[in-house]
Chain A
Amino acid sequence: MTTRVTLPADVHQIDATGFVWTFLDEAAVPNRITVGTVVVAGDSDDPFLARVIDIVPGSSGREIVHLDVIGAPDQVIDELRHANLLPA
């Protein structure tokens, strides 16, 4: 099954806020991206989990999404399994 990334981003790419930034219009379904939500970001080869910090106008006029990196998906899956929130 192909990994579906909610918001394409480069985990290395930060700006003056110190958070990872990317463009909202790169999301296949932009209305899934709202402040406070946790999203699968990055690329399908090596995605990461992040929380949406804010959505602000960029200097180009495109909307910028700032992301706080939570970690790798495997970390969260492991924790959810430990908590019996996912089947082992």
Chain B
Amino acid sequence: MATPIEDHLRDEDPGEWTLVIRGRPLTVDGLLLAAGRTVSEFTWQGDPIAAVSAEVTGPGRSTEDVLAGPRLRTRRTYASAPVSALVDGGFAVLPSFAAPHVSIVLPTYDEVCAGALVSILGPEHVNPYYLRTR
């Protein structure tokens, strides 16, 4: 039986978040592959959830902090967008598991929806913290 993601949401105010940041893969196929895993394991509001993992900036957590973090620093490039842009585009952003991790919910698990998310995240930028050690 799949696990409700509600059991793993942080008590955090999304209104304080600024940017959503995600490194590669930033392709439709890559996002669907990742979201397919959550469909198997987790539910949200009683249904299987297709979600893409990302990280957020906010109070006490800068873009540099995220890019130099243990996961993002393995990414050569990244893309980012205001949290509000994702929400306006129809993507719920959930404060799941340990900060700064979030789950971006795909309203439908298909290429159109994943493509829309890729578009909102925008162009890739070089991660200046790639390969650096803290």
A10 with B25: CB separation less than 8 A: yes
Contact with A along B66-102 (1 / 0, CB 8 A): 0000111111110000000000000000000110010
Binds A, one of B1-9, B11-19, B57-65, B111-119: B1-9
Q: Which partner residue on chain A sits nearest B103 by CB separation?
A: A13
The interface size of chain B toward A, counting residues with CB under 8 Å, comes to 34
Name B53's contact: one of A12, A18, A43 (CB within 8 Å).
A12
With known contacts A46-B25, A72-B130, A14–B34 Cβ distance under 8 A = no
CA distance A11 to B52 in the complex (A): 11
In the docked arrangement, what's the CA distance between A69 and B3, Å?
24
**C-beta contact mask, A22-60 vs B, less than 8 Å → 1, else 0?**
110000000000000000001101101000000000111
| Residue of B23, B53, B74, B131 contacting most chain A CB atoms (<10 Å) | B74
Q: Indicate if A86 sits at the interface (CB-CB under 8 A).
A: no
**Chain A interface residue count, Cβ-Cβ cutoff 8 angstroms:** 28
Nearest chain A CB to B6 CB, angstrom units: 12
Q: Of B24, B33, B41, B131, which contacts A8 at CB under 8 A?
A: B33
**In the complex, what distance in Å separates the CA atom of A87 from the CA atom of B74?**
24
* A–B complex contacts, Cβ < 8 Å, 20 sampled: A8-B33, A10-B30, A10-B34, A10-B53, A11-B23, A12-B34, A12-B53, A12-B71, A12-B72, A16-B8, A46-B25, A58-B41, A59-B2, A59-B41, A60-B41, A69-B70, A71-B74, A72-B74, A72-B76, A75-B133
User: Top 5 nearest A-B pairs by Cβ distance?
Assistant: A12-B53, A10-B34, A48-B74, A60-B40, A13-B53
Q: Which residues on A are within 8 Å of B, measured CB to CB?
A: 8, 10-16, 18, 20-23, 42-43, 45-46, 48, 58-60, 62, 64, 69, 71-72, 74-75
